[in-house]
Amino acid sequence: MRLIRLLAAIACLVAGIAVGALNPQPIALDLGLATFRASLGVAVLAALLAGVVLGGLILTVSAVLPLRQRLRRATANKSAPPAPSPEQRL
């Protein structure tokens, strides 16, 4: 499993280097308040990285955190003593 992760990381690194090397044209990205100057390859890689990070954050907030809360509640309910039934209270 570690070998597969290492190979995937190396493949992504090589792809990133190729994108950066094949797109050396300078660009100016104007965001209204600031202007960034970089090569096209760096801008594409930065946009991809920003998309991955933003997607991960959205996934964490919308799916992972609610599932962790459900698991925490289920674990707490399992360890708590059962509530007495109405017949047992009388």
Cα–Cα distance, 41 to 17 (Å, whole number): 9
Q: pLDDT (tens digit, 9 = 90+) per residue, 31-75?
A: 889 999 999 999 999 999 999 999 999 999 999 999 999 999 888
pTM of the model: 0.68
Q: Which residues pair with 20 in a beta bridge?
A: none
- Give the H/E segment covering residue 22: helix 2-22
Percent of the chain scored above 70 by pLDDT?
Answer: 88
Q: Which residues contact 25 (CB under 8 A, 6 or more apart)?
A: 39, 40
Indicate if the pLDDT at residue 83 is higher than 70. Answer: no
Q: Which residues contact 68 (CB under 8 A, 6 or more apart)?
A: none
